[in-house]
């Protein structure tokens, strides 16, 4: 499924409207962590990250880990500088009021899986 279908299914808010969600690659994997060194070491390329971290370093890590999108849990949203940097780097930012545990459970139900070891 692409990011448009994922966002629609979960009722996510697109925080980077500059990025066309319908033109994204197929998303088949995800990762949940608030420890950015863990994301660097284990997040699957082309996947989505679920986190509550909203600072600029999340974007740098997402670019380095080659992620397609970040989903912010618990209604958290980054500042405008972080949003602008994400759009510039092609990282889609999505937001949900749900806790990370619920978001990950729904992603799993939709067929997304973690990184294969």
The per-residue pLDDT string of the chain (117 residues; one tens digit each, 9 = 90 and over) reads 999 999 999 999 999 999 999 887 899 999 999 999 999 999 999 999 999 999 999 999 999 999 999 999 999 999 999 999 999 999 999 999 999 999 999 999 999 999 765
Domains in the chain: boundaries: 3-109
Kindly report the CATH number that applies to the domain delimited by 3-109: 3.40.1390.20
pTM of the entire structure? 0.95
**Cα torsion for 49, 68, 103, 80, to the nearest 10°?**
80
């Amino acid at each position: 499924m692409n990011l448009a279908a994922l966002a629609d299914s979960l009722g996510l808010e697109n925080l980077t409207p500059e990025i066309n969600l319908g033109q994204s690659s197929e998303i088949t994997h995800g990762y949940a962590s608030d420890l950015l060194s863990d994301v660097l070491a284990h997040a699957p390329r082309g996947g989505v990250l679920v986190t509550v971290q909203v600072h600029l370093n999340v974007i740098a890590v997402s670019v380095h880990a080659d992620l397609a999108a970040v989903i912010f849990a618990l209604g958290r949203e980054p500042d405008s500088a972080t949003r602008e940097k994400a759009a510039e780097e092609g990282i889609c930012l999505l937001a949900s009021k749900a806790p990370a545990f619920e978001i990950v459970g729904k992603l799993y139900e939709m067929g997304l899986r973690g990184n294969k070891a």
